[in-house]
Structure 1
């Protein structure tokens, strides 16, 4: 029997060579691990709309969702998590509180491996600086 696939989205917010990361509350699944903030895609919702909704709910911020960055598949318990990450920018102030996280910080791209990441986010870390650089170059060329 195939595991159910849960579609999840994450925001990769980059600024000045660092990305925004959030640590899951201890009482949540993957508690104490770092992630790119986001959440589940609801039935009938586009990934971009889900990302905007989730960041509004969890972080109290509006975001501009940009290009698709990467996708990972991971097994968590009896479910399969499909995490799709998009480049994003905060539309106003940076988040100062979160309903799902106990810490938030900007992490230099060169120091991503210094954090303990949630399993679904780990595959996205390899080559991330290059993918983000490629997206920047593509958008500057347009």
Structure 2
């Protein structure tokens, strides 16, 4: 079983967190997740996240501290993922997000988080994000 290393960003603005939806035909298609993607061989996780945010959403971001590290095994797919979640902020000079390599994106508040379906690997960090959104 191969383990994929993924860097994902928790980007909060005005009480909302940025989510992306996986494209049709992708593994776990249609589910919502925190934006990011797979590390390339030898790539620093923070650099990978900044690159993925630019590729998927056309934004420029500063990547901060680690929020959570999770490991999840998708037995049905014989896949495993090591997820590194980082705080990230859009730079003042960044354009607004655009769906370049995702099905869709949304800024969602605490109440809307519960209405989205997420990959099992994201569940642990969801409680932290929900608590942050609830406290403002």
> Could you say which TM-score interval applies, normalised by the shorter chain?
0.7 to 0.9
Match of 2:42 among 18, 41, 44: 44
1:127, CA displacement in angstroms?
2.6
Provide the secondary structure at the position in 1 that maps to 2:103: strand
Q: Could you say which residue in structure 2 is the equivalent of 1:140?
A: none
Per the alignment, do residues 116 and 129 of structure 1 end up closer, same or farther by CA in structure 2, a change over 3 Å counting? Answer: closer
- Structure 2 CA distance, aligned partners of 1:131 and 1:81? 25
Q: Please, which runs of 5 or more residues in structure 2 have no aligned partner? A: none
Q: CA deviation at 1:93?
A: 2.2
Distance 2:132 2:71 in 1: 18
What is the number of equivalent residue pairs in this alignment? 132
**Equivalent residue number for residue 13 of structure 1:** 11
- Equivalent position of 2:100 in the other structure: 98
Matched, 1:25 2:26: no
**CA-atom RMSD in angstroms:** 2.1
Does the CA contact (< 8 Å) of 2:11 and 2:18 recur in 1?
A: yes
Kept in 2: contact 1:13–1:90 (CA 8 A): yes
- Stretches of structure 1 that go unaligned for 5 or more consecutive residues are 137-142
Shift of 1:107: 0.7
**TM-score w.r.t. length of structure 2:** 0.86
Q: Which residue is 1:85 aligned to?
A: 85
